[in-house]
């Protein structure tokens, strides 16, 4: 996987990098990757493929809606591996399991993505219009994505792991979302993660640390 630089994405990333809205901060990031494997990717891809095949060999689940049915398709396994490799490049400190990750990926439509974006990114969208005017934030994101991965040819996936395995979830997070826009023909994927952090919680962490340090200084000066 190779990170790809696109100016339209840079502009949006600059805006969503640390958007302070008073009691809350919005953070978002769009990252584009080519699905061409590097040396490390080849080894990791093989490891993920073996993990999936081992899982299939041990499973007796024949339910048409089960993970087994999906993973039996070589094309589906390849897509899953590309998505997991993207996660590895985004969060190198995490150890992702292909089989477990599959349980958290859901294929979505643009309308579903739009509904979530419109619901949770209202304030960010208002700030965008006040800052730049013209096209809305969602329209700008659509144009940027279309330029990079041709949305009409894309498969869209959401990634919603449990909180213990969520790399998108930062301290003080109120909510977080992760989406992947994958074009098979172009062999290209764009990730879009966005979350909302409570500034009150963040300030609380700072205050707690200051109190702890002050208490430490007091006790240091006492004869015990």
Residue-level pLDDT, tens digit, the chain, 224 residues: 899 999 999 999 999 999 999 999 999 999 999 998 777 888 888 888 888 888 888 876 555 455 566 777 788 888 888 998 998 888 888 777 776 777 778 899 999 999 999 999 999 999 999 999 989 999 999 999 999 999 999 999 998 877 666 666 667 789 989 999 999 999 999 999 999 999 987 555 444 444 444 445 444 544 43
Cα–Cα dist 15/21, whole Å: 12
The pLDDT value given to residue 194: 95
Q: For the CA atoms of the chain, what is the radius of gyration?
A: 21
Multiple choice CATH, 2-198, 3.40.1000.50, 2.170.150.20, 3.40.50.20, 2.70.70.10: 3.40.1000.50
Cα–Cα dist 75/134, whole Å: 41
Supply the DSSP symbol for 54. H
Give the count of alpha carbons within 13 A of 101, CB side only: 24
The pLDDT value given to residue 121: 97
Does residue 174 contact residue 197 with C-beta atoms inside 8 Å?
yes
The pLDDT value given to residue 102: 76
Give the count of alpha carbons within 13 A of 70, CB side only: 17
Which segments of the chain are extended strands (E)? 2-4, 19-20, 24-34, 105-108, 155-159, 173-183, 188-198
Does residue 193 contact residue 176 with C-beta atoms inside 8 Å?
yes
**Is the pTM of the predicted complex or chain greater than 0.95?**
no
Supply the DSSP symbol for 19. E
The pLDDT value given to residue 164: 63
């Amino acid at each position: 996987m190779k990170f790809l630089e696109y100016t339209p994405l840079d502009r949006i990333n600059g805006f969503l990098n640390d958007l302070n809205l008073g009691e809350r901060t919005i953070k978002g990031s769009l990252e584009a990757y080519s699905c061409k494997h590097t040396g490390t990717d080849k080894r990791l891809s093989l490891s993920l493929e073996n993990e999936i095949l081992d899982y299939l060999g041990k499973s007796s689940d024949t339910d048409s809606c089960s993970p087994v049915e999906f993973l039996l398709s070589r094309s589906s396994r390849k897509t899953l591996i590309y998505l997991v490799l993207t996660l590895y490049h985004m969060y190198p400190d995490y150890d992702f399991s292909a089989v477990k990750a599959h349980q958290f990926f859901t294929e979505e439509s643009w309308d579903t993505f739009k509904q979530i974006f419109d619901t949770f990114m209202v304030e960010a969208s208002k700030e965008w219009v006040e800052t730049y005017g013209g096209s809305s934030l969602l329209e700008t994101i659509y144009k940027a994505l279309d330029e990079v991965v041709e949305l009409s040819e894309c498969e869209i996936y959401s990634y919603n792991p449990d909180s213990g395995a969520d790399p998108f979830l930062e301290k003080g997070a109120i909510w977080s979302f992760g989406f992947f826009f994958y074009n098979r023909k172009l062999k290209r994927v764009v990730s879009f993660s966005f979350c909302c952090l409570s500034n009150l919680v963040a300030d609380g962490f700072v205050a707690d640390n200051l109190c702890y340090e002050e208490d430490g200084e007091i006790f240091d000066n006492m004869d015990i």
